[in-house]
Amino acid sequence: MIASLLETFRIDFMRHALLAGLLVGAVCGYLGVYVVLKRIVFVGIALAEMSSAGVALALWSGGALGLAMDEHNHLTTVGAVAMVLVGVLLFSIRWSQRRIPQESAIGIGYAMAAAGALVLMARSATGEAHMMDLLFGNILTVSLCDIGTFAGAGALVVLLHLLFAKEFLFTSFDPEMASTIGYRPRRWEVLFHLTLGITIAFAIRLVGVLLVFALLIMPAVTALTVTRRLNRAFPVSVACGALPIAAGLHVSYARDLPSGACIVLVSFLLLLAGGGVSLLRRA
Amino acid sequence: MTNNTARVEDLDGVPAPGPALVRFTGAAFGYGRHRVLSDLSFAIHAGDYLGIVGPNGAGKTTLLKGVLGVLRPQSGRVERRHSEGRDLRFGYVPQINTVDETYPLTALDVALMGRYGRIGPVRRPGKEDRQAALEALEQVGIADLARRLYRDLSGGQRQRVLMARALACEPDILVLDEPTNDMDIAAESATMELIGRLHREERLAILLVSHMLNLVAAHARQIAFLGVGRFEALPAARAVTARHLERLYGTRVSVAECDGRRVVLW
């Protein structure tokens, strides 16, 4: 088993996929705890779709300007980050005071981003099949350059969260009380959404929408199921985000199955196991 | 929310127990163009026990935000000052149903949050902060629950955790928003007794907001009535009289004394 696993990761592109997956799994695992506790799972998928729309917009604009566009073009990264920032601003507005529930604004953002991406994709000079990879990522085709870019962005996000751990926690747990002792919960919420958006924008380029979305939710739910303390939930979630990557990639390689989907299924098995452990503890 | 033009009436008649901590002078509050409270003039002094009563929608939460400084006045002035010249510290106890129960935090974790304002950005809570949070839990009589998850506690115990968190701030004023909501008689009585003890023994100024007239009438030393088009702050002895309440509420009211406490019947 171990020998077979090692054999899988002797191949360059599988090693790159493993490294990319581990990095994305760890960062998404950490942020996912907040995503689940703050009940903003829908924000995660909406920001992911906004990021894809940004890539499509960059490809279409680049094509229209006669630029040679490929998956390593920095313009697509700029497009993804710019659209995520638009999403963060859109979702941070106090819609409830304008009589529109926040969920509706997020839903509209998601639908518009998905539709916009499809329209721009259809009008782009680049081939549709090629565009699918660019928009939705493919963990098996990541380059070291892409991994380095994500590692830089991820390190910034992790650093911010390590430095301001208590601020993020307090303002998300009880914003009302936090505001009475000088915190500005709205600012911390926007900063949290920014770190989430940046992570999503860069992670999607590596592993695709499905895997990013799954890694934002499943490891956190597993961690919150098996641990009874928030300070333990964060490291457990990081581990649960990273662990299924090797197993999923190995199954995908050995059985010739889609890699992202295999990782998601292994994550789900881990979640089921976590649920089982939790049930046994209560019994 | 209702439009509320306050009647200017200070807490005159009550010997002020200490210097004014918060003073409203012709202050008006609202959201955007919608004005909720107008022309409020009153003060909260060190050692006061002020109860604010009013029906839902009268602007109690808005007034609370104004006191805490979360909401800035649209006009007029609100001064918050401590006699030693430092910033005034509020120990805010929100309604328990506004605090998220999903987070797997212990009672000690929650109480420790009361120290965050003193720690400053980036730094983490140290041993002294943990000790202060533990002492605050002891002060409210639940030190033995420090390691229990907040979400696993009863309503009364959770209320005490939130009070411990407020006390961990080392406040000058304890501000409580509907502290006995959804509590049974025993828990309500224990909570009010605890607030009274903190007021007496710790010399804490108390600002208690509730829609329950009897609760406030039985415990507060000064009472402010907040209603449509009025705001009156009076000493409890003058405020809780049948004549005054009948004029305020427009209905027949009786006031009785029971075990040294005022009880309002209608």
Q: Is residue A246's pLDDT more than 60?
A: yes
Architecture of the domain defined by B1-88+172-266:
3-Layer(aba) Sandwich (3.40)
Q: pLDDT tier at B246 (50, 70, 90 boundaries)?
A: confident
Cross-chain residue pair A181–B165, CB shorter than 8 Å: no
**Which own/partner contact pairs does A100-109 have at CB distance under 8 Å and 24+ positions apart?**
A103/A42, A106/A42, A106/A43, A106/A46, A107/A42, A107/A46, A109/A46, A109/A49, A109/A50
Closest to A209 (Cα-Cα) out of A145, A138, A141: A138
The answer to whether B94 faces chain A, any CB pair under 8 Å, is yes
Average pLDDT of the segment spanning A178-184 = 90
Of B69, B104, B169, the CB nearest to A229: B104
- Return the pLDDT at B8: 34
Q: Which residues of B fall within a CB distance of 8 Å from A221? A: none
Of A37, A183, A228, the CB nearest to B102: A37
Distance CA A270, CA B94 (A): 38
- Return the pLDDT at B19: 82
Closest to A210 (Cα-Cα) out of A264, A140, A271: A264
Distance CA A127, CA B20 (A): 73
- Return the pLDDT at B10: 43
Closest to A197 (Cα-Cα) out of A3, A46, A74: A46
Domain boundaries, chain A: 2-276
Enclosing H/E stretch for A104:
helix A102-123
User: CA nearest B114 in A: which residue?
Assistant: A181
The answer to whether A228 faces chain B, any CB pair under 8 Å, is yes
Q: Which residues of A fall within a CB distance of 8 Å from B175? A: 180
Distance CA B9, CA B234 (A): 8
CATH 1.10.3470.10 fits A2-276, yes or no: yes
Cross-chain residue pair B92–A177, CB shorter than 8 Å: yes
Quote the pTM value.
0.87
Of A166, A179, A183, the CB nearest to B124: A166
| Tokens, residue A198 | 């940046």
Of A97, A163, A183, the CB nearest to B122: A163
Residue B122 DSSP one-character state: S
The answer to whether A174 faces chain B, any CB pair under 8 Å, is yes
Residue B149 DSSP one-character state: B
Q: pLDDT tier at A125 (50, 70, 90 boundaries)?
A: low
Alpha helices in chain B (DSSP H): 60-68, 107-112, 116-119, 127-139, 155-168, 185-201, 213-219, 236-239, 242-249
Cross-chain residue pair A181–B117, CB shorter than 8 Å: yes
CA distances from B177 to A179, A217, B180, B262 (A): 15, 35, 9, 21
CA atoms within 13 A on the CB side of B237: 5
Dihedral class, residue A99 (left if φ above 0, else alpha if ψ from -120 to 50, else beta): left
Cross-chain residue pair B94–A167, CB shorter than 8 Å: no
- Return the pLDDT at B9: 41
Q: What is the pLDDT of residues A87-102, one digit of tens each?
A: 988 887 766 555 677 7
Cross-chain residue pair B103–A173, CB shorter than 8 Å: yes
Closest to B60 (Cα-Cα) out of B246, B208, B179, B199: B208
Residue B263, classified by CB atoms within 10 Å of its CB into exposed (0-12), middle (13-18) or buried (19+), is middle
- Return the pLDDT at A136: 60
Residue B250 DSSP one-character state: S
Mutation site for B-interface testing, chosen from A41, A163, A181 by largest number of B Cβ within 10 Å: A181
| Tokens, residue B153 | 């506690």
Place of tokens 């705890």: A33
Q: Which residues of A fall within a CB distance of 8 Å from B125? A: 166
Taking a contact as any Cβ pair under 8 Å apart, which residues of chain A between 100 and 159 contact chain B? none
Distance CA B100, CA A169 (A): 12
CA atoms within 13 A on the CB side of B157: 16
- CB–CB of A183/B114 below 8 Å? no
Hey, CA dihedral for A198, A201, A202, A203, is it positive or negative?
A: positive
The answer to whether B248 faces chain A, any CB pair under 8 Å, is no
Closest to A259 (Cα-Cα) out of A16, A67, A75, A2: A16
Mutation site for A-interface testing, chosen from B34, B65, B103, B122 by largest number of A Cβ within 10 Å: B103
Domain boundaries, chain B: 1-88+172-266, 96-171
- CB–CB of A176/A166 below 8 Å? no
Average pLDDT of the segment spanning B3-16 = 43
The answer to whether A165 faces chain B, any CB pair under 8 Å, is yes
- Return the pLDDT at A96: 55
Cross-chain residue pair A174–B124, CB shorter than 8 Å: no
